[in-house]
A = this chain, B = another copy of it.
Amino acid sequence: MAEAALDAVRRELREFPAAVRELNVPLAVPYLDQPPTPLHFYRDWVCPNRPCIIRHALQHWPALQKWSLPYLRAAAGSTEVSVAVTPDGYADAVRGDRFVMPAERRLPLSCVLDVLEGRAQHPGVLYVQKQCSNLPTELPQLLSDLEPHVPWASEALGKMPDAVNFWLGEAAAVTSLHKDHYENLYCVVSGEKHFLLHPPSDRPFIPYGNKQVAVLTNCRPPEGPHTFLPLDSEMYTPATYQLTEEGSFKMVDEEAMEKVPWIPLDPLAPDLARYPSYSQARALRCTVRAGEMLYLPALWFHHVRQSHGCIAVNFWYDMEYDLKYSYFQLLDSLTKASGLA
C-alpha cells in the first residue's frame, strides 16, 4: 500500500519538470531587443521566474566602450583585489568527498592582467570573482563607468541591489552548478560568458544535499525497487585550497564548519552511471556577449564558463521569499523525502 503511494508520489515528482517546461520554460533563452518597462519585467520575467537576455541595456555605460585589459591596467592596475586561485579553475566545487573553496589572494590588479595577457605566470587559475560587492569596495575608480544599479529593475523589484560584483578571469575559470537566492542581472562588458541553466523545477533530477534521506535511511540498507541513495549523499566536508610557497596546492579541511550540501555533478560531463536521473533534466544553454545582460532568475541552477579575459559586472537583488520560494522548498524537501535525487 505504502509502496504504491510512494511510487505515485515519485511519478508525480518526476513528471513535474516536464509539466513546468511545457507551460513555462522556453526551449532557448529568449532575447529582448531593449530593456523592458518595470511592469513588463516583473510580470513577464520575474514573477514567472523566466530568464531572458536583454540587448541594448548597457549601451549608455561608458564601460562598454572603455573597458579592456589595458584600460583596467591604466585605471586600477595598482589596486589590490581579491583573487580566487584554484588548481583547476573550479572555485566552490565538489572534489571527492570535499566541498573545496578557492585560495584567496590579494594581488594588484596588474598582476592578474599580466597573467591574462600572457606576460607572467601564476600557479593555478585566477578569477577575480569575490561576490560581496567587490566593484564598489575594491575597484571604486571604475564605478563612474557604469550605473550603480539597473533603474528599471530596481523600480520593478522595489529595491536596490544588495551587491554589485566585478568578474575577470581566465578561460579555465569555471563556476560549478549551483543556485543563488538572488535575482541576478549579469552584464557582459567584454568577451562572453557561457551559461548552462536548469529551472528550479528540474530539482527532482539534480543531486543536491540529500541529508534527510541519509538520516532516514541510516538504520537500514537500501532495498528492493525503492532503493534510496547511499549514505555518502550530497553533503560534503568543507575545505579550502592553500597555495604553498612552491606554488602547489593543498586542500585543508575547515574543521569548524558543518558539512555542506552541494551539487557533485558536472553538467558538461555528467556521471550518469552514478546520477542516472540527471539524464531527464533539460539544460538551457546560452552565450551572453559583450553589451548583453542576462536576467538569471533566483533559484535557477547555473554553471558558467567564459572567454579568456572576459570582463563582467552583475547586480544581485535579494529575491522575494514568497509563494514561489515556499513551493520550491516543498519540491526540494519532497525530492529528498521520497528519496528521488
Contact = CB atoms under 8 A, between A and B. Distances in A.
B4 A3 contact: no
A322 B226 contact: no
A156 B43 CA distance: 8
Contacts of A216: 4-5, 8
A320 interface: yes
Contact of A326 (B16, B47, B330): B16
How many copies are assembled? 2
Contact of A42 (B3, B24, B42, B326): B42
Contacts of A321: 23
A46 B38 CA distance: 15
Contact of A322 (B48, B157, B329): B48
B201 A323 contact: yes
A339 interface: yes
A282 to B, nearest CB: 15
A32 interface: no
11 contacts: A1-B217, A1-B228, A4-B216, A5-B216, A11-B337, A12-B330, A20-B326, A39-B155, A47-B320, A48-B320, A323-B324
Interface of A: 1-6, 8-9, 11-13, 16, 19-20, 23-24, 38-39, 42-43, 46-49, 155-158, 201, 212, 216-217, 220, 223-224, 226, 228, 320-327, 329-331, 333-334, 337-339
